[in-house]
């Protein structure tokens, strides 16, 4: 072995190309040295019957909704009452949906089959009224009716939907303090014009779309924010069924389209519709990269995934070399998190067939460890994936919100190296 290494070192001095090849060959060794991650399917023992049914869970968000120090779950549900899952502190959840008011059904006959509940697609969670607890804003698609709930006491809510001055065919919502006034504002992604709601205080909203967002008709499926230009405010990536676009915040909540300055037209969404978009520092260089999770659904295009790396003043498509595939899967949602505690961002995704988990080598190259992590028989069409330490053991766990099937909770187990 020593003689072999000596010969290789002498050879590499004369051949930088060989050195590069050896580095690429050796790269998987970094993965091989890590013990495989271990997850236990705790769904049967840790989830209540409310999410074991064959329902349509569209979005899942982990928050401490009852202010007891652990992470609960809020679920946006399609065609039924939205769900709150209350954590006992050890990752075991009970059905807390009674904390949301039951909606009256005064209209007969029903205006749509699932009336009075809606086609809820997404939820935004923040202290909208400034009283120190978390409120909920659900947005809906088919029935075009938002649901706004004010937290009255440790996770018990009243209906305040009348405070939301807009309706629409909505698939996405995000909340942040976009105008730097200390109050969480809201942007809603629609089939049509997206909407900007400025928080005027105490959970009252003003529709200021015309002066804050570009006026354009899209079919928006997802929104994500990041301080893209490092100027201290939050910029916005808009994920659409057609072209995605990048919006720059002026610091006062006014957004300008800067897409063409950074993203080539052929990379915006060509090849499938974007169901999920993410800002993330994939390669650890301190700059925000982009990941577009694309699906084969309404637009009937081949779902070509886009892992776009920030290179100066532009994004470069490096999907194939970093992720290992571009069009093998339809991806409905993705979440970046450091699963193996090595300081970089790994990637979990949900597809039409099953979830997939990828480890980052620290430089933004991913290895598929799905087969070693999840049982082959775990098949589900996931709509949303949420990563959080649900049982307070210091390890990130995974909640899969599924379509036409039960949700799943996977708790990560300590690995003995």
Confidence of residue 324 (pLDDT cuts 50, 70, 90): very high
Residues in CB range of 21: below 8 A, 6 or more apart: none
Q: Work out the average pLDDT over 252-278.
A: 88
- The span from the CA of 354 to the CA of 378, in Å, is 7
Nearest to 137 by CA among 85, 189, 91, 92: 189
Q: Alpha-carbon distance 306 to 326, whole Å? A: 7
Average pLDDT over residues 213-236: 95
Each residue of 74-104: pLDDT tens digit?
Answer: 999 999 999 999 999 999 999 999 999 999 9
DSSP letters spanning 100-164: SPPPP---SS-SSTTTTS-BEEEEEEE-TTSSSS-EEEEEESTT---EEEEE-SSS-EEE-GGG-
Count CB-CB contacts under 10 A for residue 135.
24
The predicted pLDDT at position 3 comes to 37
Residue of higher predicted confidence among 15 and 272: 272
Over range 141-160, report the average pLDDT: 94
How far is Cα 367 from Cα 358, in angstroms, rounded to an integer? 5
């Amino acid at each position: 072995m020593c003689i072999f290494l000596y010969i290789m070192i002498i050879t590499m001095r004369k051949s930088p190309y060989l050195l590069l090849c050896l580095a690429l060959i050796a790269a998987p060794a970094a993965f091989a040295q890590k013990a495989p991650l271990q997850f236990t399917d705790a769904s049967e023992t840790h989830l209540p019957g409310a999410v074991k049914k064959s329902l349509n869970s569209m979005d899942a968000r982990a928050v401490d909704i009852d202010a007891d120090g652990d992470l609960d779950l809020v679920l946006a549900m399609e065609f039924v009452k939205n769900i709150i899952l209350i954590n006992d502190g050890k990752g075991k959840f009970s059905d807390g949906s009674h904390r949301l008011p039951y909606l009256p059904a005064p209209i007969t006959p029903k205006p749509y089959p699932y009336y009075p509940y809606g086609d809820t697609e997404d939820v935004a969670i923040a202290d909208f009224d400034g009283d120190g607890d978390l409120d909920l804003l659900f947005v809906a698609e088919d029935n075009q009716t938002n649901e706004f709930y004010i937290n009255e006491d440790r996770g018990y809510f009243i209906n305040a939907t009348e405070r939301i001055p807009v309706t629409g065919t909505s698939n996405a919502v995000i909340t942040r303090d976009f105008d730097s006034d200390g109050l969480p504002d809201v942007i809603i992604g629609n089939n049509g014009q997206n909407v900007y709601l400025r928080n005027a205080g105490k959970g009252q909203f003003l529709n200021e779309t015309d002066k804050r967002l570009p006026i354009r008709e899209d079919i928006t499926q997802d929104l994500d924010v990041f301080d893209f230009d490092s100027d201290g405010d939050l910029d916005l990536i808009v994920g659409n069924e057609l072209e995605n676009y990048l919006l720059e915040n002026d610091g006062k909540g006014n957004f300008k389209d800067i897409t063409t300055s950074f993203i080539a037209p052929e990379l915006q969404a060509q090849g499938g519709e974007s169901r999920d978009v993410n800002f993330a520092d994939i390669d650890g260089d301190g700059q925000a990269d982009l990941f577009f999770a694309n699906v084969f659904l309404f637009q009937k295009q081949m779902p070509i995934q886009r892992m776009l790396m920030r290179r100066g003043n532009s994004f470069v498509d490096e999907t194939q070399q970093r992720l290992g595939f571009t069009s093998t899967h339809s991806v409905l949602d993705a979440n970046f998190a450091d699963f193996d505690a090595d300081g970089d961002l790994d990637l979990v995704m949900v597809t039409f067939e099953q979830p997939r988990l990828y480890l980052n080598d620290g430089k933004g190259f991913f290895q598929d460890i799905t087969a070693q992590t999840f049982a082959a028989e775990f098949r589900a069409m996931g709509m949303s994936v949420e990563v959080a330490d649900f049982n307070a053991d210091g390890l990130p766990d995974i909640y899969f919100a599924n379509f036409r099937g039960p949700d799943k909770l996977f708790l990560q187990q300590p690995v003995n190296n």
